[in-house]
Each structure stands twice: as C-alpha cells, then as structure tokens.
Amino acid sequence: MTACSGGGAGEAEDTSLTLGAITAPTTLDPAGSEWGNRAPFYQAVYDTLLYADSDGEIQPWLATEWSYNDDGTVLTLTLRDDVSFTDGSALTAEVVAENLQRFQDGTSPDAGYFADVASFEAPDETTVVVTLNAPDPAFLDYLTRDPGLVASSEAIDSGDLTTTPVGSGAYVLDTAATVTGTSYVYTANPDYWNPDVQHYESLTINVLQDPTSALNAIKAGEADAVRISTNDNLDEVEAAGWTINSNELDFQGLLLLDRAGTVSEPLGDVRVRQAINYAIDRDAMLAALQQGHGTVTTQVFPTGSGAYDEALDDAYPYDPDQARELLEEAGYADGFTISMPNSAVLGATVYSLVEQQLADIGITVQYTDPGNNFIADLLAPKYPASFMALEQNPDWQLIQFMLAPTAIFNPYHYEDETANALFERIQYGDETEQVAAASELNAYIVDQAWFAPFYRVEGVMASAPGTSVEMLPTNAYPSIFDIAPAE
C-alpha cells in the first residue's frame, strides 16, 4: 500500500468554508478527544495515522503501510518521512508512540479502545510497533479516529494543547479569532503534505447546539454546511435551497444502562427491560420526531453487519398490554420511578413522548437537565437509563463501544457469561466464526433487552448551493475532506 492523496480540488482555493456543528469539544488535546460530532474540530488540526474514506475503507494517511503478525497481536506501522508539524518539528515514530501512549493514559472517553495494548514502541524513525495482549479486530478502525490523532511532541511538552492545538493537519487554529465553545476559526496550513484535500483557504466551525439555531443559520445563509440534530424541519431546509445529505449511521432510543439493577432495581429484571421495549410506539416516534426519515428497529447492530437480522427490527411490536403483564410478572404492577437526563441538543419533544409512553404502562420518568455535562454525567454514571443517539459501529468496535464490560457506553460495567463467551469467539475466531458469533450476540442482547432502540435515524448534513458533501458510513459528521466546492 502506498500513500493516499485523496480526491479533491488541488491546493487550497481562495475560498472559505463555514460549518455548523451540534456540540463543542471539551478540550483540543488529543489525549482527551472524542470523535462523532466533535470530529471536525480535531480533524482540521491533526492528522490521523490512517484514514476512513467515504466508502468506509481504511486508507493510508500518516502511516503508509501496516501489517499484523500471524496471531494478530503485533501491528507494525510504517510512517511517512516527509511530514512536519506546524511548529516546524518533524513527525517521527517516537512522537507517534508518545501520542498513542498519551491517549491510552488520557481522559478521552474512548481511551478504553487501547485497553488491550501492552506497548507502543518506535524501533526506528519511521516504524511504530503496537503489541496487543489479545487480538483486536477493530484496531485499525480506531487509528482512523481520535485514538489515531497525532500532536507535536514539543506542543505536548508546552502543556497548552487544551486550547492551542499543534498538529500536522490541513489547517491551523486561529486562537485570536476563536471563541471557545462557540466559534472555531482555522487557516490553511501552507506546508501541508497533502494539498489535494485542502479545498479552502479558511475554515470556521460554529457551534449550533439547538435545532432552531441551526435552522436560522441555514435560512440566513450564515454557513455552507450544517449538521442537523433533528429532522423536524427538513422541509424548511430544502425550501431554503439546501441539499439534504444523509446516512443511517445512528440509532436513537433508550440506553437501559443499569442492567444489574445497581441503582434502579427494576432494570435488573429482564422482564422490565422487555416491558419498556413493548411500551414504545416506534412508528409513531419516527413519524413525530423524524418526519419518517429513518427505519424502525429494535437492534443496535447496523445493516452492513453480518450480525444484522431484518427480523430483529420488529422484535418488540408496540404492545402496552404485554408491557403491563411483564411488569406485573416482575412484581411491579404498581409501576416504579426512574431518573433520566434530558438535553436540548436532542430536542424537547422526544422526552415528552418517552415520558407519556412509559407512564402509560406505569413507569414514571423524572428528568433532570445536566446541561453541558450531559455526556459526562451519563458516563459517570449518574443515571440508570437515558434517551440517546449513538453510532452503529462495525461489529467489534460496537462491542467495545457499547457492550463489553469496559465499553464507554456500558458505564455500570454490566456483563454476563453468555455475552462474554460470544465476545471471545468474535475476538479470536476467523471471519466465518466472527460473523456467526456476532449474529448470536445480536439476537441475545435483543432478547435480553439491553437497549430499547426506536429507529435508525436519517442523519443529516445539510449543504448550501455551491457546496458538496459526501457522508460517511462510519461517522455522524462527514470528513472535512469530503466537504468541497460543488463542481
């Protein structure tokens, strides 16, 4: 494999790009970074070791070649030898190993992706060797995301990366013009090693946290492309002359996190979790919340997965009577109360609908608003359940993200023997065994009601006339390199 320059319009044109994002980064230090909707803030400044293209394929980036040993526990990466950071320091294997170690030891909610790494070594200037305690079928995927971000070693030593990022990326943050939490302004890196993907001379990313702000920015022509958090107003977006670019990457629904009943005893009973699933009118939710833009489902594995089973999209048809019977069998005929967080980012209507539908079977929801700490409090964990939108990742990545005892969105570290055995088969098996075990795992967690998904939502990045957007199959926010002047 050789270095990939990507498609594009050549060197940065005499143009600017203004994007809308739905949430701001909590830090610009890769060691505390996140991906998803926060990806563009990092991708602008930092390069990743590998790159996920618009087809979801892994391409060379800072690393030009990679290979595993026979048992998949040693990964060797070969780096480009012509890359410098914007402070003038050089990209070396030692710098990459330092960044990987910092991510493993850091505060990112994705640090667990490196939980099985034994060591990062740099035997020479352009070679990085990653030794794993056990095979990780998603490890290359991770290196296309926040775990693969690389910062200047000199900038790491300065201690200023939280607000003053220094990478080798296509753009440089203009700290004087940036308002933290609100608007981030970047200028093109004149010495970028891959100018073919620099489509603009400047880049601004504005945080438009609520749907109304996003719609107002679109109508006023104050942006070129905007990530939209809800699909309530897509007709108005199209009426403004904008294009709807979409994928079905995310599912929306309830995360039933406290499956052992640690703080909410009822959730420890599978019948209660199944009752919650039967209580949700998914078709009505999709119509009311997304104007039908999506597909109802009760599974969290994506359609592109070998684990996906179309029949599991309707494992829990709307049946409040069945829900009440299950609650009675579990000893909760009189219902119970459960606490959940709410967030303006995800819209207000969904919380009312969830409250109404659960109240109909006797479950009372008590909401609190943690504000900007929504994710942090959810992962603390401070809540037994929550409405949430999450990515449907590739199989092993999804397991590490949502299902495994160490997964980010398994904050109570719930586990059981059946699931653990299936995880092991997926981790160590060949491709055929991995698909078979993933299919069994999907059916199992649906039966055990680990979640109460509503639908696969049509995620939307709206673009203005003159701006082209290609959506990713593996991330909610498109790559900034897939946003370009329309031809």
Is 200 a residue whose pLDDT tops 90?
yes
Name the β-bridge partners of 149: 48
* Range 16-29 average pLDDT: 97
Residue 2 pLDDT grade (very low, low, confident, very high; cuts 50, 70, 90):
very low
Average pLDDT over residues 190-215: 96
Q: Angle 276-396-309 (CA atoms, 0-180°, nearest 5)? A: 50
User: Which architecture characterizes domain 250-457 according to CATH?
Assistant: Roll (3.10)
What ranges make up the beta strands (E) of 133-249?
149-150, 171-173, 183-188, 202-207, 225-228, 243-247
Superfamily of domain 16-211+460-485: Periplasmic binding protein-like II (3.40.190.10)
Q: Find the mean pLDDT for residues 155-172.
A: 97
Mean pLDDT of the chain: 94
Determine the Cα–Cα distance for residues 214 and 269; give it in Å rounded to an integer: 41
| The pLDDT of residue 426 is above 70 | yes
Cα separation values, 100 from 148, 151, 371, Å:
7, 10, 31
pLDDT of 6 higher than 50: no
Residue 192's SS3 state is coil
390, two tokens: 């999450």
Q: What is the mean pLDDT of residues 205-232?
A: 94
pLDDT at 258 over 80: yes
For residues 456-481, average pLDDT: 94
End-to-end CA distance of the chain: 30
The whole-number pLDDT of residue 5 equals: 32
CA atoms within a 13 Å half-sphere pointing along the CA-CB vector of 266: 23
Q: Is this structure's pTM higher than 0.85?
A: no
Domain ranges of the chain: 16-211+460-485, 250-457
Across residues 410-429, what is the average pLDDT?
Answer: 96
**What pLDDT, on the 0 to 100 scale, is given for residue 14?**
60
The pLDDT tens digits for 263-317 are: 999 999 999 999 999 999 999 999 998 889 999 999 999 988 889 999 999 999 9
List, for residues 79-115, the tens digit of each pLDDT value. 999 999 999 999 999 999 999 999 999 999 889 889 8
Is the pLDDT confidence value at 483 over 80? yes
In the predicted model, is pLDDT for residue 383 greater than 70? yes
| 17: CB partners within 8 A, 6+ apart | 199, 200, 202, 203, 204, 224, 225, 467, 483
Question: Can you give the pLDDT at residue 291?
Answer: 87
